[in-house]
């Protein structure tokens, strides 16, 4: 397995770029990418392996947030999408989704999107309505008991978001965090990180979803919110008044390989992995990362 995939450990706390959200979709020429996957993995030959013959059915959470996703949902007001519009192909995961589709030989109009309203539903056991789901889902052994994961398309790491001027913003180590109230959404690797690595004195504060956790931070019900670094950027820039990223946690303490989620034993798993590998080897994954993520200064590490 290649380790030359982008990591999120250098994302800056400042520097906001509209290119993160609104840059036009740019993928390697479709004919070139299709030739890089095996014949049996090309769209015309996937047949009954697809949930809907002739269509690639993808899923992500609703609402979906920048910089993972982009696009204006008001362009299709009857669609029900909130905050971002995944069919636009914008944002980091939006671009990866369409690059994978093109690598398999699907055109844009052959991609159908489903809305997932509860994050944990995507990796619960049982049949899935989608061919693949993308929502910053890290590979975990316990999840892999119920679903398949593709080859990872990037690695993330956890970070700590807070409100500027509060005491927690002065911490420099994980030991310093013990007395503070830390929260995360249920079922997330962020929650797991709080419970297993930080182990605060009062335990982790658990919320039904990230939106509830963000509101708790804004209301002062928790002192700090642990989320992946890209989400921390959006939380502190767009969702929390006077929000700030205190720092990121060491990558040595984490395994945050993010991948597509598929139904257990899906015949498509190998094909999605083949497409992602082709995109990585061609440099397209790195190009997508570079086009959607802005960096300007080193992010402090909470050791």
- Residue 101: CATH number of its domain: 3.40.190.10
DSSP 120: G
236 and 166 in a single domain? The answer is yes
Calculate the CA 295 to chain-centre distance. 18
Termini Cα distance of the chain? 28
Number of domains in the chain: 2
In the chain, where do the E strands start and end? 56-61, 111-116, 132-133, 147-149, 154-155, 158-163, 182-185, 204-207, 224-228, 243-248, 257-258, 261-263
pLDDT in tens, 98-121: 999 999 999 999 999 999 988 889
Query: Are 122 and 268 contained in the same domain?
Result: yes
Task: Give the pLDDT confidence score for residue 54 in this predicted structure.
Answer: 95
- Structural domain that includes position 238: 158-253
174 and 146 in a single domain? The answer is no
CA neighbor of 168 nearest in space, from 247, 250, 252, 251: 247
Provide the percentage of residues in the chain whose pLDDT is more than 70. 85
Does a structural domain hold residue 262?
yes
pLDDT of residue 83: 93
- Residue by residue, DSSP assigns 206-243 as EESSHHHHHHHHHHTS-SEEEEEHHHHHHIIIIISTTE
- Residue with the bigger pLDDT between 205 and 35: it is 205
Residue 285 to residues 140, 201, 241, 276: CA-CA distances in angstroms?
22, 40, 33, 8
Mean pLDDT throughout 216-229? 96
Beta pairing, strands 147-149 & 261-263: antiparallel
- pLDDT reported for residue 302: 94
If asked whether residues 247 and 263 sit together in one domain, one would say no
The confidence score (pLDDT) of residue 32 equals 52
pLDDT for position 292:
86
pLDDT single digits (tens) 150-159: 999 988 789 9
pLDDT digits (tens, 9 = 90+) for 175-205: 999 999 999 999 888 999 999 999 999 999 9
Which tens digits make up the pLDDT trace of 120-134? 899 899 999 999 999
Does 1 reside within a domain?
no
Task: Say if residue 56 is in the same domain as residue 176.
Answer: no
- Mean of pLDDT values over 37-62: 96
Query: Is the pLDDT assigned to residue 2 strictly greater than 60?
Result: no
* Nearest of 70, 58, 151 to residue 108 by alpha carbon: 58
pLDDT in tens, 231-252: 898 899 899 999 999 999 986 6
- 5 is a domain residue: no
Give backbone dihedrals phi and psi of 128, rounded to 5 degrees, phi first: -115, 145
Per-residue confidence at 6, pLDDT binned at 50, 70, 90? very low
Say what percent of the chain tops pLDDT 90: 70
Q: Classify residue 175: in a domain, yes or no.
A: yes
CA dihedral of 257, 260, 262, 268, whole degrees rounded to 10: -110
pLDDT at 256: 76
The answer to whether residues 294 and 20 touch, using CB atoms and an 8 Å cutoff, is yes
Same domain, 50 and 165: no
Q: How confident is the model at residue 229 (pLDDT cuts 50, 70, 90)?
A: confident
> Is residue 299 assigned to a domain?
no
Instruction: Say whether pTM exceeds 0.85.
Output: no
User: What confidence score (pLDDT) does residue 53 get?
Assistant: 93
Is the pLDDT at 23 greater than 70, yes or no?
no
Q: What is the pLDDT of residue 288?
A: 94
Q: Is the pLDDT of residue 4 over 80?
A: no
Whole-number mean pLDDT of the chain? Answer: 87
Pick from 24, 259, 231, 292: which is nearest to 154 by CA? 259
Q: Quick: pLDDT tens for 252-300.
A: 655 678 999 999 999 999 999 999 999 999 999 999 988 987 643 467 8
DSSP labels, 161-209: EEETTSGGGG--SSGGGTTS-EEEETT-HHHHHIIIII--TT-EEEESS
Q: Which residue has the higher pLDDT, 16 or 33?
A: 33
If asked whether residues 203 and 267 sit together in one domain, one would say no
């Amino acid at each position: 397995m290649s380790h030359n995939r982008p990591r999120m450990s250098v994302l800056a706390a400042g520097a906001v770029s509209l290119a993160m959200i609104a840059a036009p979709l740019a993928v390697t020429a479709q004919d070139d990418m299709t030739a890089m996957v095996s014949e049996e993995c090309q769209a015309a030959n996937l047949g009954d392996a697809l949930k809907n013959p002739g269509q690639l059915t993808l899923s992500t959470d609703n609402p979906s947030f920048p910089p993972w996703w982009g696009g204006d949902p008001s362009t299709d007001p009857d669609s029900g999408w909130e905050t971002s519009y995944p069919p636009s192909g914008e944002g980091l995961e939006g671009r990866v989704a369409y690059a994978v589709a093109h690598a398999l030989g699907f055109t844009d109009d052959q991609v159908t999107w489903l809305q997932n309203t509860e994050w944990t539903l995507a990796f619960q056991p049982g049949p899935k309505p989608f061919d693949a789901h993308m929502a910053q889902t890290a590979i975990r052994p316990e999840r892999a008991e119920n679903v398949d994961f593709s080859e990872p398309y990037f690695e993330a790491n956890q970070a700590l978001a807070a409100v500027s001027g509060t005491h927690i913003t002065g911490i420099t180590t994980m030991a310093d965090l013990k007395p503070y109230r830390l929260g995360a959404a249920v079922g997330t690797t962020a929650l797991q990180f709080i419970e297993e690595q930080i182990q605060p004195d009062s335990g982790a504060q658990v919320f039904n979803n990230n939106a509830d956790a963000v509101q708790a931070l804004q209301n002062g019900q928790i002192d700090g919110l642990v989320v992946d670094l890209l989400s921390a950027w959006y939380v502190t820039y767009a969702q929390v008044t006077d929000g700030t990223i205190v720092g990121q946690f060491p990558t040595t303490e984490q395994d945050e390989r993010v991948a597509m989620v598929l139904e257990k034993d899906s015949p498509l798993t190998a094909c999605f992995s083949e497409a992602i590998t082709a995109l990585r080897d061609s440099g397209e994954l790195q190009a997508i990362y570079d086009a959607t993520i802005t960096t300007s200064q080193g992010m402090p590490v909470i050791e």
